Each structure stands twice: as C-alpha cells, then as structure tokens.
Amino acid sequence: MNKYFDRHFNKDIITIYPGEFWSSTGPELISTVLGSCVSITLFDPIAVIGGMNHFMLAKDSSNTAADSGKLLSKFGEYAMSLLIEDMEKKGAILSRCTAKVFGGSNIFNVPTASATNIGFANIEFAFDFLQKNKIQIVSSDTGGKAPRKIYFDPVTSKVYLKHIATYNEQEGEIQKSKERQYIEYLASLNLSAKRQ
C-alpha cells in the first residue's frame, strides 16, 4: 500500500496492490492497476463508506494458503471477507452495499475455456460471490485484453477508469510482466496458480 498526494485530483491517493484492500469514509481516492486481477468496490450510501480490494486468483483450491499467512488475501474468497469485515467495523451494513467489478483482462491471450485463463476465473468468481450474497452490481468493466487503472472515490462511489493499452503500451507490457512473475511465484508455493 502506498499513499501520495495527487495534484490532478487534489486528493490523497491510496494505491493498493495484489492481496490488499482499503476502506474509508474520507476524501481520498483508492487506486490500483489491474491485468488479470480483479477489484471489487463496495459502497454503503447510508453510512457513506466505500472500500476496494485487489485479488489475484479466484480461489485457493489447494487449501495451502492457510499456511502462508499474508497470501490469504490474494484469493477472492478471502479478499472479500476481509473487505466486508473491515467495512462493517466502520459502520457499513452489507445489505445496503452496492458493488462495482473491474479487471479480469486476458492479457496472456489464453483461450476462455482454458484452465489457465485467470482473468475469466476471477470475473466468474466476482459475479458469483456478489449474486450469492445478494449484493447489487451497479457497474462493471471486465474482460478484454487491456490492463486497467482505476481510481475509486469511497465517499461518492464514483470510479475513474482508463484502459492502459490505449494510453501507454509500455505500461501495459510492464503489468503483464509483473503478473507473470507473481503467478510463477505463487505456482512455486504449490498454490492454485499455473505457469503461463
């Protein structure tokens, strides 16, 4: 997690990375860059609390993450539990929350039906989780091939989004490289990621 002041938005920016989340009632923006990863934003309009997570893989099918401590939140099922718990501690009520879903790009050009299409699996998990928990999805921007950069305002629930490849191909390639390295790292721990 990183915090800095952005002159364009005239606000503090909280940047989150894979396995991290942030919730707030304050005037800052929460930001992240997504390739095959997914971020889900939650917003309670009555308590005026918003939060966002960033997860790398949908599920820990091997159940070995429990031995890895801080790796837990890199999986969607744990990332959602942590975000919801944090927001509820600050006064949010889940039944009032709405959600937005972003990411899940197929940046490695893997066929959709392939077991190694991490982006597709992440999107599927996000929508399934939200529907099962009766959380209304009010907006989404998922799939495709381009990485995304998003800024989420936890006070208004507004999201500023740009598709990185449209603006900067080099930045998109850097994101692909980072994700590939991280997936290989998870695979080396015998977790549920497969090498691309």
What ranges do the domains of the chain cover? 2-188
Fold of 2-188: 60s Ribosomal Protein L30; Chain: A; (3.30.1330)
Which long-range CB contacts under 8 A does 11-14 form with residues at least 24 apart? Answer: 13/151
Q: Strand 11-15 relative to strand 98-103: parallel, antiparallel, unpaired?
A: unpaired
Exposed (0-12), middle (13-18) or buried (19+): which is 55, by Cβ within 10 Å?
Answer: buried
* Cross-strand pairs, 43: 50, 98
d(CA 12, CA 26): 10
Instruction: Per residue of the chain (196 residues), give pLDDT as tens.
Output: 999 999 999 999 999 999 999 999 999 999 999 999 999 999 999 999 999 999 988 876 655 545 455 566 788 999 999 999 999 999 999 999 999 999 999 877 766 555 567 899 999 999 999 999 999 999 999 999 889 999 999 999 999 999 986 545 566 566 667 666 665 655 555 444 333 2
Secondary structure (3-state) at 154: coil
The set of residues, in sequence order, having a beta carbon less than 8 Å from that of 76 and lying 6+ positions away, is 38, 55, 57, 58, 59, 122, 125, 126, 129
Q: Is the pTM of this model over 0.85?
A: no
Nearest CA to 157 among 141, 138, 135, 143?
138
